[in-house]
Amino acid sequence: MSTLTIRIDDDIAQRFSQAGEAEKAKWEEAFNLWWRVYFIPDPKDKLAATMQYFRSKAAERGLTIEELEQILSEDDK
């Protein structure tokens, strides 16, 4: 992984610098996903890439497709 210096609002930089390591890791993961999807030109491909990302993260954490579908269906009730 590489390091990239970008300009961000002061309040965001302050919050990030005050965050713990676990929280910083979550922010970095979210920024990486956002940038990865940002550079995909086709909106359908953006959605597919986002869905694939979350599928792989769910699988890494031991969540099956069936369990995920059950969780999502519970929100419809």
Domain ranges for the chain, please list them: 1-39, 41-77
Tell me, what amino acid is at 51?
Answer: M
- Residue whose pair of structure tokens reads 């992984």 in the numeric block: 1
Span 21-75, pLDDT tens digits: 999 999 999 999 999 999 999 999 999 999 899 888 888 889 887 887 888 787 6
Helices 21-38 & 43-60, crossing angle to 10 degrees?
A: 150
User: How far is CA 19 from each of CA 34, 64, 66, rounded to the nearest angstrom?
Assistant: 20, 31, 34
Q: Which of 67, 68, 12, 2 is closest to 35 using CA atoms?
A: 2
| pLDDT for res 10 | 97
Confidence of residue 76 (pLDDT cuts 50, 70, 90): low
| pLDDT for res 72 | 76
Q: For the whole prediction, is pTM greater than 0.75?
A: no
